[in-house]
Structure 1
């Protein structure tokens, strides 16, 4: 179940680092350097997320953390669809910064719960499978984001504005991410307790 939830959630999350810079360059007519700086806060805040994840997991457990965190991430992705073409690019920075923080918590939690039930001699194989899962999720996430974007480009919803295609894509990806959070309802409230004790 952990691997399935991991893959489904990463599908939505992995498309954002591609879609946002692409939108800034194509719709906002900004340089690649500008689009790169806009996405940079995501990496910076991810560092802070790592330092809080253990405390959060100890307090709320894996099930509650993953369900709530996935909902927050999906909502943040949906918020990227709000600005119109005349909105300042600075509007995206706080959203991306907060998204990086919660992404860090999400990835750490999903990675550890995915191998929580493995015995010591299975850990190496489990980590290898998890690594493959992560790479697949990134590839599928990018492909999914581009496919959805292309679909919206050919609809009447965008009214001839490419920026609107990106907005509908973010909304779709965000909703998918929120829905994927329900997979974690299958976790038992005590799942991952053994991992928490190892982390203390």
Structure 2
């Protein structure tokens, strides 16, 4: 529900603007309002879940998001729509990280891979099917149904939480770190709004660039405070775990930038570069989507056989190669070559994202899972916006180099080339992990032991 909402709204901006009697550019405030609210509340999600109980907060977040979706769908003016988006952002900032926290607290290590693979699906599928679904609903129904469809989904989610999620008692109370909240929230708001501005062609680059720099500087101060505070809003202890730091804030963060840039670039390539309409571009992106689906049944057996390090390195390089190859696509590329390439790119994307999300929590102690979930959520939020911003900036720089006012087909090659190199390089960076990293979760230890027993039993 949340992931689809973020990817659907961009396809409906002209129609929403027409309903409110404003320019489509004015609707950017609706996107920014949601982004700012999520960024401001996200650092406190772990503390709120510990203070009031994860199940209770999860229920409240789903209810808020669902009611706010109704408000968006019924809004008659731009201020009403923006107000509803702010409430949506409040629910969204708590819904995903707290929901992930509920899963991690109740999953044994042997179940972690399967559980993470399931909760990774929305992040894999939404950026691919969201624009297609949003365009279809907006064209053949109304933009309002993009939000009203959240009502049955939200009610089903509430019923499922009440039925299946145990009501665990809140964690031990700890004081609320106000300076840590203001610093971390301020850093995220400045950083994400700045990056979102850089991703918009119509934005003046100096203002969002200044906001991004201020966000980075404030983030450095926030980290300094969190390391020294006696009761920090978010404990940074999880960063001492190599598998977590590598998959969430190291090479994994860089690979997520590439993962988030690719679904942004592909529809633009097909529409701007190939001259296709939205429906035709959506059908091509469907091959990418099918690759994401097809990899799911293979993820666990592959990890059990080869382990996290080998898969992350090999699949990371392969993923970078498929992204780079997309830069050489032209309107004359035969479908027999184009479709398998998109399918392969989807395969590698699905495998890498599931590996990263699982490895992040493979070695995290139970006492650190709340803070680790918050840190991981912040990392994913920043990398999502950063991926789109980097892709947009690369396209704009390439067109400026050619002296063109708008990006064209020739500008996609350097963009895909840079993103592909980033993916491949971050994949190779996982060579620094130990060979047995996350083996208890992947099952590689048990698989190796069984092979050893079989070999020793032979005459």
Q: Do the two structures share a fold, i.e. TM-score over 0.5?
A: yes
Alpha-carbon shift at residue 85 of structure 1 (Å) = 4.3
Q: Is the 8 A contact 2:303 2:443 kept in 1?
A: no
The answer for unaligned runs of 5 or more in structure 2 is: 1-245, 447-459
Larger deviation, residues 170-179 vs 87-96 = 87-96
> How far apart in 1 are the matches of 2:260 and 2:342?
13
Decide which of 40, 45, 55 is 2:301's aligned counterpart.
Answer: 55
> How far apart in 2 are the matches of 1:194 and 1:32?
45
Match of 2:286, SS state, is helix
Shift >6 Å, 4+ stretches? none
Q: Is the 8 A contact 1:46 1:103 kept in 2?
A: yes
Number of the residue aligned with 1:128: 374
Number of the residue aligned with 1:95: 341
Number of the residue aligned with 2:398: 152
1:86 and 2:332 matched = yes
CA radius of gyration, larger in: 2
> How far apart in 1 are the matches of 2:294 and 2:441?
21
Q: Is the 8 A contact 1:39 1:93 kept in 2?
A: no
> How far apart in 1 are the matches of 2:323 and 2:426?
14
Q: Is the 8 A contact 2:291 2:342 kept in 1?
A: no
Match of 1:116, SS state, is coil
Q: Is the 8 A contact 1:66 1:109 kept in 2?
A: yes
Alpha-carbon shift at residue 20 of structure 1 (Å) = 1.1
Over the residues paired in the alignment, what is the CA RMSD in angstroms?
Answer: 2.3
> How far apart in 2 are the matches of 1:167 and 1:157?
16
1:176 and 2:433 matched = no
The answer to which structure, 1 or 2, has the higher relative contact order (CA under 8 A, 6+ apart) is 1
Alpha-carbon shift at residue 171 of structure 1 (Å) = 1.2
Match of 1:14, SS state, is helix
Q: Deviations over 1:21-69 (max 9, x none)?
A: 1121112111111111211122222122121111111111111110000
Number of the residue aligned with 1:108: 354
1:119 and 2:365 matched = yes
> How far apart in 2 are the matches of 1:85 and 1:196?
42
Alpha-carbon shift at residue 178 of structure 1 (Å) = 0.8
Number of the residue aligned with 1:71: 317
TM-score, reference length from structure 1: 0.89
Match of 1:117, SS state, is coil
Matches within 5 A, 1:40-51: 40-51=286-297
Number of the residue aligned with 1:185: 431
Number of the residue aligned with 1:2: 247
Structure 1 pair 32–90 and aligned structure 2 pair: CA distance change class (3 A)? farther
> How far apart in 2 are the matches of 1:121 and 1:197?
23
> How far apart in 2 are the matches of 1:54 and 1:170?
29
Alpha-carbon shift at residue 13 of structure 1 (Å) = 1.9
